[in-house]
Structure 1
Amino acid sequence: MNAKAENLNFVTINGLLSYGEALVRRPSVEGAELPPAPGPSEDRPKRVLVAMTAIRAFVHDAQKGFADAAAYGNARHQLIQQACGGDDLVFFAAWNQLLAQGELSALMRAPIGATIKPTRRRPVAIVPREHMTPNLAEGRIVLDIGNDQFWLMPKDLSDRTLFLTMRHGVSQVDSKKFRVGRRLKNVLDPERGIPKAEAIGTALARTLGLVGKQLDFLHLHNYLDPKSFVHMVSRSPNTRQLFERVVSILSPDTAKTTQPIVEGALESQDFGWATGIEKTAELEEAAKAFGVDTKTAQRLIKHPLYSYPGGHSFFELYVDLVDGFHHLGQTHQGEVLCLYTHSSTLRALLIFLDPRPFSEAFSEFGAYKEGQDNVVLLTFEHGQLSGYSTAVGLSERERAAREAWKTVEQERRDKVTLHPRQIRRVVALVSGGDFAGAGAALKELRVTGNRLGLEVYFVQHGFLGLANNWIELVTEQNTRGMSNHASSPIGSSRFEDFKDEEVQLAAIHHLKPYMEDGALVVMGGDGSMRGARAIFERFGIQVIGIPGSIDDNIAGTTSLGLQSAVALANQSIESLKATSAAMGSVFFVEVMGAGSGHLALMCAYQARAEGLLVNEHPDPDAYIEEVILGTLKQTLGVQNKSHIIVVAERTPHCHHPVGGVHGLVDYVANRISQWTHLQTRSGSYPLSVATKATILGHTLRGASPTPVDKTMAQHLAYEAIRSLVEQPQEVIGCMLAYRDSGTIQPIPLHALAPKPFDWELFARMHGTELAL
């Protein structure tokens, strides 16, 4: 973020000092532990200028990284003591003046402990009730997340940590109206807060299967024992009260003897001298100091890097929480942690779990309110956090979802500036991993656009090309033969720098001349659609998305490239099946899909493979032992029998840190060598068994487009142009979804969601779909 984007030019050093001093002079609030008030000083403005230079150096040095949150916090503390003479008001003014000038944004990209978001996360294994089978649920932890969905994970927690994270409900000093934070000893409101805490405990008990016996239909029981849970609270009394109510419901027999641990990572934000102030009064005081209205003043106070006088910013809270949770995961492996915390910390947690950059996710969760989720389920494994957010009461979630949809959808429509038959030009790009069908879509965009009198431009190499101004007018000659082109004929790229505000501004500068009476068409997967959403919502670019990804991981649509990738994989797998049957070998075939197993599932089912190892499976190690080795033990040695195991890349297992086929081949070979029924006996000479790995990898991205993908691409591109001409309000800010029936419908970019794994097809492949 920068000052231009945030429009904070009203912020001045004198205004900041005036505002900070006004907060210091406020009478103390009962129950609050405020910082010591600094003495009077006439030279603060000069000292602020000196401190700004030191803070600039701090931000520059931060790009080298900090080992952990504590190291970052210590460096920040030293900055206050040394560069600001221990004067919190000097630091407050210097820090926030640099914020207003856009000079702190680099901090949000600094490598601080574990706060850098991973490029890929293992998907949570969520299975709908109708797809649950004994094979999936037997011997595993099953969490009921509501709406007839269950989260599955291994029973063995020895190398992972399970977090049950809750926030308190309504407190006596209501955080809706007042700045509360960690300095105010707040307690639950007797009339509303206590019942809410009990409702949270009841909902958690239901999630854990302690009530309702949610797995009776499978004749199974849950494996978590609440008596063994480790409970942690913040220093605030209301989190201890929440703990008392919840533990009395989860484990009434041991509730009186169970004591929580005070954990620093669960603390709320530090509001310094603003602690206890009514939010309306806070805004009025800020508006008075800066000479603006309260709505304008709010831009500064709501910024994630805004540091409160005598306190810190939301970003510091985020750093402490994320790094703290990783530390808890590392030091409590094999345990279940019940964590009782606050709205601000849950907000920080959801921002980290969101795949978008910090600044974008902060905007998404900027209005985290009492009616939103009260429980966030997390698991820590292989050094990473993954999670699921659930609500107390499904009806409340549905109501909140409906209200949010109305608000955000209206905001989308308000950003549409094109009117019917106003468009004159279209700019198109392909982003992210390449895929077949992009050429057919691009050619159709050019053909249909030209027929309707539009100028059509292509961008080389996606968002990277926008940043470099690689935008070219397209003619009929440029698109000859493009429909049959494998991959993307205009290039693509994974351009991580596009997450940075400065890079986005450069790209928008290059794009803007084409956007007067024009629109941008973005083709790609979920990451590309997030980029499209960012430039639509932040800069008003009239954008429309077309799904293209061999991962096929966007809900509600079939993505371009999937069919072609499966077709090419099928050719390779059939070849491997032939040699496997002839030689008796075992082939582990790795395909792409670190973030989703849809491609692997389709390849395995079409090939009738003997096994399928995917990231979505709740317990890959158990699958290797029970299914892969169990099946091979029965089928190895059968004459003319092929043995094919499809593996999605980076699927985690205990045999190699990288996962996938790595380490798996050697492990299985070693196990097979120990099976006595395959060893040579007197008068019997069995087939020698070899285990081999074949990594198809990027060959699937470069597949030649199948007729199905080409047809889908043409339909999607035609509909994009037609809709932009005739009804732009219905499609701008949306992705066009290709339904199974062949119909095309827009899905707002803000409503895109990951595609659920097809557990029904998974069960059918393993012959367990009739178990119910």
Structure 2
Amino acid sequence: MPPELAPEPTSDSCARPNPAGIRRVAVLTSGGDAPGMNAAIRAVVRTGTQQGLEVVGVRRGFSGLHRGELSLLGARDVANIIQRGGTILLTARSRTWRTPEGRARGAQVLRDWGVDGLIVIGGDGSFHGAHFLQEEHGIPVIGVPGTIDNDLYGTDHTIGYFTAVETALDAVDKLRDTGASHERIFVIEVMGRHAGHIALDVAVAGGAEEVFIPEDSKPVSGVLDIVRDSVAKGKRGSIIIVAEGYPGGATGVAEAIEAGTGLETRVSILGHIQRGGSPVSSDRILASRLGEAAVYALMEGRRGVMVGRGASGMLYTPLHETWEKRKDVSRDLYRCAKTLSV
């Protein structure tokens, strides 16, 4: 079944019906940080406040939840954060939350605070934790997709993805300059442990000669002819993009190029710089829309779903489907990358 499409509002009024009787919601960020998480927090707090709800912020994700690190948030508490990277609520990974005892402790904290529903901003690991909290303790949970990898089924894009691509692309442009100056090949590794969305977008936008992604197990040997052809055509440098999840990573690709061609090759692993920085406009807008939709979803009585955004509008996807179903890269874009690399 495809994700459920959210109904369009029947009026321009900001006031929404609250058949679920929601009075107090909690929000947390979990897993890896992503640019735009603060915009989503801001949207949750201000939407809830406008609807007459109380909003509780949970610090340090699920780790902070079972330790009781909660506080009430108002509209002024989220002022001047939409442009900031990272998350004002902080984030952490919690081993304790992986246990039934840890989740039971967190559920009791939410009950003690009178929380009627929890909004979790994060990726698939965070959604696993949210799913089990609801299944085991009946607390309504709504997921908001916040991960730079863009690998969650049920939304065209995830919060942080656009900014991560722009950050990586800026680095690629700079490395191309120095690569051309020294007549070197640069093999650049971008994030994407299980998905090649960042690598593919950066390869096309950065004019890369080749791209390696986890979704395609093509052999590294195929890049040798591409590199030799580039040299024969008089190119002074080449850019090869590798997603971190491709077997062997950028180091493996670079070693194969040097061994097969004898050409000087350098590796640049961009790493966590892709997670930081001020979110670009597309991430701020997406996060704002999804944060607002998450509050409305709780008020409507929805639970156990992720709010996403597609070409047709807002989408609701059961949390378990966001990791059980596969979100492929754009095969048309992959073909385009190969076509334009000549």
Q: What TM-score does the superposition give when structure 1 sets the normalisation length? A: 0.40
Q: Distance in 2 between matches of 1:651 and 1:610?
A: 17
1:429 aligns with 28
1:136-535 to structure 2, matched below 5 A, reads 420=19, 422-516=21-115, 518-535=116-133
Match of 2:243 in 1: 648
Q: 1:763 aligns with which of 318, 335, 338?
A: 335
* 2:314 aligned partner: 744
Specify whether residues 496 and 648 from structure 1 end up closer, same or farther in structure 2 by C-alpha distance, changes over 3 A only: farther
Counterpart residue identity of residue 239, structure 2: I
Partner of 2:296 in structure 1?
722
Q: 2:273 is matched with which residue?
A: 699
Structure 1 residue 668 corresponds to structure 2 residue 257? yes
1:421 is displaced (CA, Å) by: 5.8
Structure 2: unaligned runs, 5 residues or longer: 4-16
Shift of 1:487: 1.8
| Shift in CA distance, 449/708, structure 1 to aligned 2, threshold 3 Å | same
Asked if 1:588 corresponds to 2:187, the answer is yes
Letter aligned with residue 598 of structure 1:
H
In structure 1, C-alpha distance between the alignment counterparts of 2:304 and 2:197, rounded to whole Å: 26
Residue type matched to 1:735 in 2? Answer: M
What is the letter of the counterpart of residue 147 of structure 2?
S
Q: CA deviation at 1:649?
A: 1.0
Contact kept, 8 Å, 2:35 with 2:86, in 1: the verdict is: yes
Task: Give the counterpart of 1:635 among 216, 230, 233.
Answer: 230
1:625 aligns with 2:197: no
Which string of whole-angstrom CA distances, capped at 9 and with x for unpartnered residues, describes residues 716-742 of structure 1? 1112223333x22xx32111011135x
| Conservation of the 8 A alpha-carbon contact between 1:435 and 1:548 | yes
Contact 1:589-1:695 within 8 A present in 2 as well: yes
- Is 2:136 the partner of 1:538? yes
How many residues in Structure 1 have an aligned counterpart in Structure 2? 324
Give the structure 2 partner of residue 615 of structure 1: 214
Partner amino acid, structure 1, of 2:316: P
Read off the aligned partner of 1:761 and give its amino acid letter.
L
The residue that corresponds to 1:249 in the other structure is none
Q: Partners in 2 of 1:649 and 1:515 — Cα distance?
A: 42
Q: Secondary structure at the match of 1:698?
A: helix
| Offset from partner CA, 1:398-446 (integer Å, 9 cap, x none) | xxx89xx9xxxxxxxxxxxx96161111100111111011001111111
> Residue 734 of structure 1: which of 264, 284, 305 is its match?
305
Tell me, what secondary structure is at the counterpart of 1:522?
strand
Partner of 1:555: 153
1:515 and 1:541 in contact (8 A); partners too? no
Offset, 1:759: 2.5
The residue matched to 1:491 in structure 2 has which SS?
Answer: coil
The residue type equivalent to 2:277 in the other structure is A
What is the alpha-carbon distance in structure 1 between the residues aligned to residue 304 and residue 114 of structure 2? 14
How far is 1:638 from its partner?
4.4
2: CA distance, partners of 1:478 / 1:431: 20
CA contact 2:210–2:239 (8 Å) conserved in 1? yes
Alignment deviations for residues 604-633 of structure 1 (CA, whole Å, 9 cap, x no partner): 1221211111122133xx2x111x111001
2-structure distance, mates of 1:465, 1:759: 40
Distance in 2 (CA, whole Å) between partners of 1:608 and 1:487 is 29
Kindly report which structure 2 residues correspond to 1:73-92, keeping only aligned pairs within 5 A, or say none: none
* 2:177 is the alignment partner of 1:606: no
Question: Aligned AA for 1:560?
Answer: I
Q: Distance in 1 between matches of 2:318 and 2:216?
A: 30
Question: Whole-Å Cα distance in 1 between the matches of residues 233 and 145 of structure 2?
Answer: 44
Deviations 1:691-721 (A, max 9, x none): 1111111111113200000011111111222
- 1:155-178 CA-to-partner distances (Å, cap 9, x unmatched) read xxxxxxxxxxxxxxxxxxxxxxxx
- 8 Å contact 2:195–2:215 — kept in the other structure? yes
Checking the alignment, whether the CA contact within 8 Å between 1:435 and 1:703 is kept in structure 2 is no
Contact kept in structure 2, 1:563 and 1:709, CA below 8 Å:
yes
- Root-mean-square deviation over aligned CA pairs: 2.2
Give secondary structure in 2 for the equivalent of 1:483. Answer: coil
**Whose radius of gyration is greater, 1 or 2?**
1
CA distance in 2, matches of 1:669, 1:594: 24
Deviations 1:293-350 (A, max 9, x none): xxxxxxxxxxxxxxxxxxxxxxxxxxxxxxxxxxxxxxxxxxxxxxxxxxxxxxxxxx
Task: Indicate conservation of the 8 Å contact 2:186/2:268, yes or no.
Answer: yes
Q: What CA distance in whole angstroms lies between the structure 1 residues aligned with 2:23 and 2:229?
A: 65
SS in 1 for 2:228: helix
CA gap 1:606/1:740 in 2 versus in 1, 3 angstroms:
farther
Partner SS state of residue 186, structure 2: strand
After superposition, the Cα gap between the structure-2 partners of 1:592 and 1:755, relative to the gap in structure 1 and judged at 3 Å, is same
- Asked if structure 2 preserves the Cα contact closer than 8 Å seen for 1:525 and 1:554, the reply is yes
Note closer, same or farther for the CA distance 1:603–1:759 as it changes in structure 2 (3 Å cut): same
Q: CA deviation at 1:496?
A: 3.4
Instruction: Note the C-alpha offset of 1:567.
Output: 0.8
Q: Which runs of 4+ in 1 moved over 3 A?
A: 637-642
